[in-house]
A = this chain, B = another copy of it.
């Protein structure tokens, strides 16, 4: 969800903000009417993995909104204090319990409409033990022909999975950058 226009009060002093272009800027920001604090709103990174075990990939069935009950690759918002890679590993473990080794950045997909950049690493599962967290109904391995394409939660996940299976046939995995309308 776009976070723009959600700021009503100054985070520093609590005074109502107004949206205007600050003197040294060229776009509207939420500016505090009291202390003058300028509040910037910027895109967020969603980081995750394509966990593979041999020919299979790991998907998680979402236990939370949005897209409750649909299947996703493990992914979530990158947090302060971690790298993109560390966030991808953390989300994988939180959502599925899978232990993985990262192989390389595989997709970087802009979702401008919601102010997000989705970054997926390829990952090798170290074993098949799973322990889904509270955000996941179930986690399981899928062969390509088993993937529930009509029940994938997000377009970035579908695009990443398509590229993954295509690249695997070719045997190499360049970075794919793209935009989701």
Instruction: List residues of chain B with CB within 8 A of the CB of A40.
Output: 77
Residues of A84-100 at the interface with B, using a CB-CB cut-off of 8 Å, are 84-85, 94
A43 part of interface (Cβ distance < 8 Å):
yes
A70 part of interface (Cβ distance < 8 Å):
no
A12 to B44, CA, bound (A): 20
A152 part of interface (Cβ distance < 8 Å):
no
A105 to B85, CA, bound (A): 17
Secondary structure of the A side of the interface?
loop
B4 touches A14 (CB 8 A): no
Which of B9, B11, B13, B117 interacts with A45 by CB under 8 Å? Answer: B117
Instruction: List residues of chain B with CB within 8 A of the CB of A179.
Output: 83
Given that A77-B42, A83-B110 are known contacts, is A12 also in contact with B16, CB under 8 Å in the complex? no
Chain A interface size, as a band, is: 35 or more
Residue of B nearest to A111 (CB): B83
A159 part of interface (Cβ distance < 8 Å):
no
Instruction: List residues of chain B with CB within 8 A of the CB of A15.
Output: 14
B78 touches A42 (CB 8 A): yes
Instruction: List residues of chain B with CB within 8 A of the CB of A24.
Output: 134
Besides the contacts A42-B80, A45-B45, A45-B117, what 17 more A-B pairs have beta carbons closer than 8 Å?
A: A7-B11, A8-B12, A8-B13, A9-B9, A9-B10, A10-B14, A11-B11, A14-B15, A14-B16, A40-B77, A43-B79, A81-B112, A83-B110, A83-B179, A84-B110, A85-B110, A175-B175
What are some 11 contacts across the A-B interface (CB < 8 A)?
Answer: A6-B12, A8-B13, A8-B14, A9-B11, A14-B15, A27-B79, A42-B45, A81-B115, A84-B108, A84-B177, A85-B110
